[in-house]
Structure 1
Amino acid sequence: MSSLNKLRLLHQAQKNQWLKPSELEELQTKKLRSIVKHAYENTEFYHKKFKAAGIHPDDIRTLNDLSKIPFTTKEELRQQTLESRVSRGLDLSQCHVTETSGSTGIPLKIVYDEAADDFSKAINLRSHTENGLKLRSRWAVFGDPHHYQKPRWFQKLRIFNPIQISVFEPIEKQIDTLSKFKPEVLDGYTSSIRLLAEAVEKNDIKDINPKVVFGTSELLDPDTRKYINSVFDVEMIDHFGCVELNRTAWECGEHAGYHIDVDAVVMEFISDGEAADPGERGEIVYTGLYNYAMPLIRYSIEDVGVPSDEVCPCGRGLPLMKLIEGRSDSFMQIPDGRIFSPIIWTLIMRQIPGVGQFKAIQERKDLIRVLVVRDQAFTEAAAGQIVHDVQEVMGEGIHVDVEVVEEIQKEPSGKVRCAVSKVGRAI
């Protein structure tokens, strides 16, 4: 699929947001019927799941009919082979395959074929372009270097072409790069942007002055939003999503809530097994509408939000949600003063084979315990790799104790935090 097609998809996505709610629901329902039929006919996992539940795709005619389908959990997917979860005949060598662990520390392979990847990027770009990103903006993105992709031809013309800032780089190097680049748009992991803001303020740096700041992948708490806004003199825009579905909701300049990308996903809010009412807290359950390579239907993401029946003053037809709880962990400060954001642990640990679940606990500035629930692929070599990789990022002076455990205790919220520090940090 050509890069021109990506721009065409972006143009269509930009038009979709202004459709009437009834028109968006009609579009969403049409896509839902198609993906359900495809999943039943082309994936072993959903064919068996539907059969076991006594459901046929013809039973799913409206959005309300989704409740007939059992939920899909991350643990359930992890127990399946990748081949049973993807569409029959899919050429994985032609697909984008990534892995997530997220705040629960449980890894899962996710597959996008070219068509799904193109559509996903268009949905992602929509939330950016609607909030100030221009074709040739100087755009800097904090991210994981393992996920960097080669620039496309249009990016070589500086069209939607961000520079990548590795979250593993020392803050001094990040500042040096950004001071020279002078980004107009700053984007990426919220905790990394917070650390940058702290360094900019502390060192009175004058030449990093973005016009727009986007946060993603982690919960944006009110204190962090207020702090970043103050340092950079912006009104930060927050994005919501996950690796499995990519961008699913985003703020516009009105900050009235998060616009749900209903032309890309169905987002349900479930409380005690039933649909939550507007204003009621519920667990988010997704059905993806475009990834035919690896369909996800009624997928429980373990994040929490609140559906809203309010109408955004911006006039977009995309409905709103209120985000009240998401992925939130702890920063860690080590003896030399460097501070690491919680996202670091996700990026390190998903490279380690055999890790079923994990939790990093900072006991002292120079001591970190890493709890690991192993799966079949875990070996002594994997334990050694954890120590090596953590010390490679944080320094050889950091003691790393790896403990294999049967279970990791959940927080009162029901989630497992992947990083917790018992040590205060100087800001």
Structure 2
Amino acid sequence: MIYQLGNLARMLRVQWQPASDLRELQNRKLRSLIHHAYRQVPFYRRLFDSRGLKPEDIRRVGDLSRLPTISKEQIQAAPAEEVMAFGLDRSKCVEVRTSGSTGLPLTLRYRREDDSRLNVSWLRPLFAHGVRPWYRKLEISGPHNLPSGKKWYQHLGIWRREGISIFSSPGEWVKAWRRYRPEILYGYSGSLKLLARHVLDAGLDDIRPRFVFGVSDLADEECRELIQSAFSRTIIDLYGAAEAGCIAWECPRCQGYHINADTVIVEFLRDGRPVPPGSPGRVVVTNLHSYAMPIIRYELGDIGIPGGEKRSCGWGLPLMKVIEGRGDAFIVLPSGRLLSPMFFFGTMKKIKGINQWKVFQSEVDCLKILIVPAKNFSSETIDHLRKRVEENSGEKMGIEVELVENIPGDSSGKVRAVVSQLESPF
């Protein structure tokens, strides 16, 4: 706890530094990680040698482009001893698993001091929004994220939390809330959306958190509106991953997400090159606190937008815009144009008779849309849906509609509204 308090104090102090100082801090941490990875990790030594590079060639963030990006599949295909640092006692490492939303969960290993630093990165946005250490938190999350017991400081009333699985029902989430009465509602955004819909449908008026924080899933416009209506609170979106900790978070004052630049480097790429501010690109991260199992230029599979706006809050942390979804959530039109998943959130909200929906694409000129009908559903709903999609996209496509009773999450529990099986255009 003392070590974590020190990390927290440094993190809260660093965020006020000028952007130039933060860039130099990133460069120093990057040089240290690169030298370590080359000396101690066979996977990265081979990667460097295959490009004719030495650690001295990577001195600042801009030099990272000389290295190729790496994927989850490459890490998984390599033996553990190839991707972990020499001489590391695995029994003293902390194991963290990714959610497995892509069907390929990855086991990561961190030194305890690095794990502590990344855990603290999730506290920065809480403090920024006014959360106090004595506030209680109910967390709706994957079973692998749920607390297995209480830490000693939680017995003193600090950072207390209770957890419940995303695979439980909304009714069970309500019971957990009433039993615990926390100030903070925290969880997968898709699950919070389901809870909000349940609260509204059931006419419940006693679920009133002080704060609502969403993670893991895309916080689309419909999700935000439902949560505002159900809880009278605005959802605060946090963007993170097991591979990098808390990456970015919505600023209470700026129009965008602050990147935790002191713990992670974030690149936005298309066709291997950085995209300009305001343009979507693949999110590639370098975890500056990943010494046991280095994460350098790692493809997360998400699509994000770098921000170029000036910061009005006083923090030096750089800004990015909204995460638009995963690369396989973009629909390819017959003309080759791309539709962001945000297109469907805006289109579907204006069609009456739809309670829940999901879009699949397996062919370039055809969509399949699953619909859970609402009470006011009629045969005109489907006609209206087809017309709105064609008018808003400006192109004709085959649209198959299937009515279903419910739309379950994937194997990780996440509820993905748009999925394309075509090759990612990014």
| TM-score band, normalised by shorter chain | 0.7 to 0.9
**In the aligned structure 1, how far is the partner of 2:283 from the partner of 2:94?**
25
1:213 CA drift (Å): 0.5
Residue 61 (structure 1) aligned with residue 59 (structure 2): yes
Counterparts of residues 23-38 of structure 1 (less than 5 Å): 23-38=21-36
SS of the residue 1:140 aligns to: strand
SS of the residue 2:50 aligns to: helix
SS of the residue 2:107 aligns to: strand
Residue 363 of structure 1 contacts residue 369 of structure 1 at CA under 8 Å; is this kept in 2? Answer: no
Counterparts of residues 388-403 of structure 1 (less than 5 Å): none
Closer, same or farther: CA 366–324 of 1 in aligned 2, 3 Å: closer
SS of the residue 2:305 aligns to: strand
1:366 CA drift (Å): 8.9
Residue 228 of structure 1 contacts residue 236 of structure 1 at CA under 8 Å; is this kept in 2? Answer: yes
Closer, same or farther: CA 299–197 of 1 in aligned 2, 3 Å: same
1:413 CA drift (Å): 4.5
Residue 182 of structure 1 contacts residue 207 of structure 1 at CA under 8 Å; is this kept in 2? Answer: no
Counterparts of residues 62-77 of structure 1 (less than 5 Å): 62-77=60-75
**Amino-acid identity (%):** 37
Q: Which residue of 1 aligns with 2:110?
A: 112
**In the aligned structure 2, how far is the partner of 1:28 from the partner of 1:369?**
37
Closer, same or farther: CA 323–409 of 1 in aligned 2, 3 Å: closer
TM-score, scaled to structure 2: 0.77
Counterparts of residues 129-140 of structure 1 (less than 5 Å): 129-140=127-138
1:101 CA drift (Å): 4.8
Residue 35 of structure 2 contacts residue 55 of structure 2 at CA under 8 Å; is this kept in 1? Answer: yes
| Deviation sequence 1:129-168 (CA, Å, 0-9, x none) | 2112211102111112333343221122121121112222
Counterparts of residues 322-337 of structure 1 (less than 5 Å): 322-327=321-326
TM-score, scaled to structure 1: 0.77
Q: Amino acid of the residue matched to residue 135 of structure 1?
A: P
1:369 CA drift (Å): 13
**In the aligned structure 2, how far is the partner of 1:366 from the partner of 1:277?**
40
Residue 223 (structure 1) aligned with residue 195 (structure 2): no
**In the aligned structure 2, how far is the partner of 1:71 from the partner of 1:21?**
25
Aligned residues: 353
1:409 CA drift (Å): 7.2
1:84 CA drift (Å): 1.0
Match of 1:82 among 77, 80, 83: 80
**In the aligned structure 2, how far is the partner of 1:146 from the partner of 1:333?**
30
Q: Which residue of 2 aligns with 1:146?
A: 144
Q: Which residue of 1 aligns with 2:186?
A: 187
Q: Which residue of 1 aligns with 2:91?
A: 93
Counterparts of residues 163-312 of structure 1 (less than 5 Å): 163-254=162-253, 256-312=255-311
Q: Amino acid of the residue matched to residue 4 of structure 1?
A: I
| Deviation sequence 1:363-389 (CA, Å, 0-9, x none) | 95599999xxxxxxxxxxxxxxx9xx9
> Which aligned runs of 4 or more in structure 1 are off by greater than 3 angstroms?
327-334, 362-370, 411-415
**In the aligned structure 1, how far is the partner of 2:252 from the partner of 2:3?**
28
5+ unaligned residues in a row in structure 2: which ranges? 330-340, 342-356, 359-369, 373-401, 414-418
Closer, same or farther: CA 226–13 of 1 in aligned 2, 3 Å: same
SS of the residue 1:141 aligns to: strand
Closer, same or farther: CA 189–279 of 1 in aligned 2, 3 Å: same
Counterparts of residues 343-382 of structure 1 (less than 5 Å): 365=405
Q: Which residue of 2 aligns with 1:410?
A: 421
**In the aligned structure 2, how far is the partner of 1:363 from the partner of 1:94?**
51
1:277 CA drift (Å): 1.2
5+ unaligned residues in a row in structure 1: which ranges? 335-361, 371-385, 391-407, 416-427
**In the aligned structure 1, how far is the partner of 2:112 from the partner of 2:37?**
18
| Deviation sequence 1:200-255 (CA, Å, 0-9, x none) | 11222222101110000011111111221222111211001112112100012125
**In the aligned structure 2, how far is the partner of 1:238 from the partner of 1:252?**
9
**In the aligned structure 2, how far is the partner of 1:225 from the partner of 1:411?**
29
1:117 CA drift (Å): 0.9
